[in-house]
Amino acid sequence: MSSLEKIALFIDGSNLYATSKALGFDIDFRRLLGEFQSRGALLRAFYYTTVIEDQEFSSIRPLIDWLDYNGYTVVTKLTKEYVDATTGRRKVKGSMDVDLAVRAMELAEHVDQIVLFSGDGDFRSLVEALQRRGVRVTVVSTLSTQPPMIADDLRRQTDVFIDLAELKPKVGRDPADRPRELRQPPQFLTRGSINRGDRVE
**pLDDT tens profile 120-133:** 999 999 999 999 99
Specify the pLDDT at position 45.
98
pTM for the whole structure: 0.80
Using pLDDT thresholds of 50, 70 and 90, give the confidence band for residue 15: very high
Q: Do residues 123 and 97 make contact, with C-beta atoms less than 8 angstroms apart?
A: yes
Full strand arrangement of the beta sheet holding 90-93: 90-93, 73-83, 41-52, 6-12, 113-117, 136-141, 160-163
Other C-beta atoms closer than 10 Å to the C-beta of 83 total 9
Mean pLDDT of 47-65: 76
Phi, psi at 6, each rounded to 5°: -85, 125
Residue 157, C-beta contacts closer than 8 angstroms, at least 6 positions apart: 124, 127, 128, 131, 137
Specify the pLDDT at position 81.
72
> Between 191 and 149, whose confidence is greater?
149
